[in-house]
A and B are shown apart, each in its own frame.
Chain A
Amino acid sequence: MKILFSLFISIMVLGSVNAQDVVVKNRFVNHTEFGGLFGRVKYSSGSQQNTVESRTSLTLQTFNGIQVSRKLGAGIILGADWYKSALINPVAAGIRYDLSGRPNARFFVIADAGYGFTWLHQDSDGYKTKGGWMVNPGIGLRIGNVSTSSFTLSLTYKRQEVSAEKPLLWNQIERDEERVYNRIAARIGISF
């Protein structure tokens, strides 16, 4: 009995750095955000070389997971990114790692990677859009206490690959497009 008690104590000591860890560890965490994906595109069309246009798209996502340690949360991200000609639903694995800072305002690191699906996308006639890989690393600012709800601001780089088959023009026998959306994502959200 004494041995078991000692073992329990040692696990408690080894497994948690301090008393606060016991509270936060393995707690369910949710981080839901919305914002915009900002970027631009430079393309050539016929004799018109290097046309540049700005692009803004809506992004929504929700992170659900557990607090692995006091600083690290890991979970699954489900989202919707509404590009001009593709509605992509990324499903990704992600982490949220808190950097040290003031108790009520801390920076945290965001790293998500996964695959964007086209479940909700609708193609125009003749087009066939397929999803692709997605990465989304960046940094965020958490305002509020760690153990309660907090308000977040985040800035990330988002890369989403998409491919599409396009309707054939005159004399073409094949026409495909590989798209890489390179965007800065600015989001606001809540975390609890």
Chain B
Amino acid sequence: MKTKLLPLIIVVFSFGLFSCNDQCKETRVTRRLTPFTRSLAEIRSSVKAESKRELIRPGKIYTKGNYLFINEIKEGIHVIDNSDPSNPKFISFINIPGNGDIAVRNNILYADSYSDLVSLDITDPANAKEVGRVQNVFQFGQFDGVGWSLMGQNSSTGMISIQDFTVDFVTETVTTSCEENVSPMLSSWLDSGFLSSASFNSAGSASSAQPNGQAGSMARFALYDKFLYTVQQNRLHLFNISNPAQPTDFTTVNTNFSIETIFPYQNKLFLGTTTGMIIFDNSDPAAPTQISVFQHGRACDPVVVHNDIAYVTLRTGTACQGIQNQLDLVDVSNPSNPKLIKTYQMENPHGLSIDFPTLYLCEGDKGLKVFDVTDKMEIDKHMISHFQDIDAYDVISLGKTLMLIGKDGFYQFDVTDPRNIRELSKIPVNKAIP
């Protein structure tokens, strides 16, 4: 028996050794960018109020008084009458090509439109009118990680244009070594390219200063004193709005970081960058000065501050790369020396909002998490609720109500009792975004 089997075993073994290949296939979905050019003249002439539209690709949210502004990425702004949060009504759509950010003071709305900053009179929200424009102040920008740039003189027409990209998605399959040896930083050489330059977000002043509206934590515009602060790439850009309808280019402050969000708190500015949180002293609003930097690994990171504690979320993502998904609590009582209190692991944190002691944290497609942060060392043990079946990008907490935007729509919740959050209304997006 043995003698019969042995040759068979040798044959099988040899064949096995020859044919035993690990087979590893990586499937990846990559965005493919196709460039196109838009003339600035055409872009500038198309800023106007139009009839109301449905949400298709909502971006940031901004609220002022009874009105709600929802950015339609790169298209414009939905104006919504929100006097009854359980029944918000679309009023109009302001067509602003290349818009991503919003800030409102009194009856003037500031918005970016590719390279320009536009001011609109919204005294009649149904019929917004352009009243001012600062031209060619932003050189680059980015929407959802896809950049655009301001092109120089076009010799044939003598006009300046915007180079933008259309996006489609390509699925490819490659064989791999079955090992985790591909560093996500491999492609960081692309960082230097303009594609990864920071986008404009209008950062909202989270303070409840009466004349100003309120933005979410993903914002890149902030209003403070007689200035509008915008963050763009590595620059903090100040516009003088002493004449609210006619903003003027005031100054820029350069940093060494790629800035993503801005959050004014008391007389400080907290800037979320791809590699850390920068604290600026803003006691002289005309000349913010950098006090300190709290560095972290490469990630996207909105920040909110309450009671000398900064809540910083780090997430992985196309625009930011990085491999961390976490919530950092940073003690900023001494702004020149921020100290990490504790790090909590999260899934994919985006925007956040604090209504102490309740912290609302967007987890992207993993939903919204609500934490009690009274005990700052044990936040993870005090999760009050987790809404898993919504997509959450950014939130604004207004005390009794909570506004939330995600890929699937805009939600308002009654949060009078954080342990018993009720949905008041939902404006759905009319198609899913990949």
Kindly identify which residue among A41, A102, A126 contacts B22, using a CB–CB cutoff of 8 Å. A41
> Are B24 and A180 touching (Cβ within 8 A)?
yes
> Are B24 and A43 touching (Cβ within 8 A)?
yes
A58 part of interface (Cβ distance < 8 Å) = no
Question: Could you tell me the distance between the alpha carbons of A33 and B186 in the complex, rounded to whole angstroms?
Answer: 41
Question: Could you tell me the distance between the alpha carbons of A107 and B9 in the complex, rounded to whole angstroms?
Answer: 11
Question: Could you tell me the distance between the alpha carbons of A113 and B27 in the complex, rounded to whole angstroms?
Answer: 27
Question: Could you tell me the distance between the alpha carbons of A41 and B179 in the complex, rounded to whole angstroms?
Answer: 10
B316 part of interface (Cβ distance < 8 Å) = yes
A150 part of interface (Cβ distance < 8 Å) = no
Question: Could you tell me the distance between the alpha carbons of A173 and B179 in the complex, rounded to whole angstroms?
Answer: 20
A20 part of interface (Cβ distance < 8 Å) = no
Residue of A nearest to B193 (CB): A170
Q: Mark A108-126, 1 if CB is under 8 A from B, else 0.
A: 0000000000000000111
Kindly identify which residue among A39, A44, A101 contacts B21, using a CB–CB cutoff of 8 Å. A39
> Are B26 and A51 touching (Cβ within 8 A)?
no
> Are B187 and A41 touching (Cβ within 8 A)?
no
Kindly identify which residue among A43, A85, A168, A173 contacts B175, using a CB–CB cutoff of 8 Å. A43
Q: Mark B172-186, 1 if CB is under 8 A from A, else 0.
A: 001111111010101
Q: Which residues of the other chain, B, contact A168 by a CB distance below 8 angstroms?
A: 184, 316-318, 321
A8 part of interface (Cβ distance < 8 Å) = no
> Are B25 and A178 touching (Cβ within 8 A)?
yes
Q: Which of B22-48 contact A (CB under 8 A)?
A: 22-31, 33
> Are A42 and B175 touching (Cβ within 8 A)?
yes
Kindly identify which residue among A43, A125, A164, A176 contacts B177, using a CB–CB cutoff of 8 Å. A43
Q: Tell me, rounded to whole Å, the shortest Cβ–Cβ distance linking A116 to chain B.
A: 14
Kindly identify which residue among B17, B196, B318 contacts A184, using a CB–CB cutoff of 8 Å. B17
Q: Which residues of the other chain, A, contact B30 by a CB distance below 8 angstroms?
A: 171-173
**Interface bin, chain B:** 35 or more
Q: Which of A138-188 contact B (CB under 8 A)?
A: 139, 155, 157, 164, 166-184
B323 part of interface (Cβ distance < 8 Å) = yes
Q: Which of A32-54 contact B (CB under 8 A)?
A: 38-45, 51, 53
B137 part of interface (Cβ distance < 8 Å) = no
B169 part of interface (Cβ distance < 8 Å) = yes
Take A44-B175, A85-B178 as given contacts and tell me if A167 and B184 are in contact as well, using a CB distance cutoff of 8 Å: yes
Count, chain A residues at interface, CB 8 A: 47
Q: Which residues of the other chain, A, contact B177 by a CB distance below 8 angstroms?
A: 41, 43, 45, 51, 53
Q: Which residues of the other chain, B, contact A107 by a CB distance below 8 angstroms?
A: 1-2, 5
Question: Could you tell me the distance between the alpha carbons of A184 and B179 in the complex, rounded to whole angstroms?
Answer: 19
Residue of A nearest to B16 (CB): A184
Q: Which residues of the other chain, A, contact B33 by a CB distance below 8 angstroms?
A: 171
Q: Mark B306-329, 1 if CB is under 8 A from A, else 0.
A: 000000000011100101100000
Kindly identify which residue among A85, A125, A157 contacts B179, using a CB–CB cutoff of 8 Å. A85
Take A85-B178, A175-B26, A179-B24 as given contacts and tell me if A101 and B318 are in contact as well, using a CB distance cutoff of 8 Å: no
> Are B21 and A41 touching (Cβ within 8 A)?
yes
> Are A173 and B316 touching (Cβ within 8 A)?
no
Take A105-B2, A169-B186, A181-B178 as given contacts and tell me if A125 and B16 are in contact as well, using a CB distance cutoff of 8 Å: no
> Are A167 and B316 touching (Cβ within 8 A)?
yes
Kindly identify which residue among B9, B22, B187, B321 contacts A55, using a CB–CB cutoff of 8 Å. B22
Question: Could you tell me the distance between the alpha carbons of A23 and B321 in the complex, rounded to whole angstroms?
Answer: 65
> Are B323 and A171 touching (Cβ within 8 A)?
no
Q: Which residues of the other chain, A, contact B324 by a CB distance below 8 angstroms?
A: 125
> Are A84 and B20 touching (Cβ within 8 A)?
no
- Of B20, B24, B145, B176, most A-chain CB atoms within 10 Å: B20
Take A125-B324, A126-B316 as given contacts and tell me if A178 and B187 are in contact as well, using a CB distance cutoff of 8 Å: no
Question: Could you tell me the distance between the alpha carbons of A144 and B268 in the complex, rounded to whole angstroms?
Answer: 80
Known: A38-B17, A127-B180. 7 other contacts (CB 8 A): A43-B176, A126-B316, A166-B26, A173-B31, A173-B169, A177-B26, A179-B24
Give 12 pairs: A residue, B residue, CB < 8 Å, sorted on A. Answer: A40-B22, A44-B174, A44-B175, A85-B180, A107-B1, A124-B323, A164-B180, A173-B169, A173-B434, A179-B22, A181-B178, A182-B23
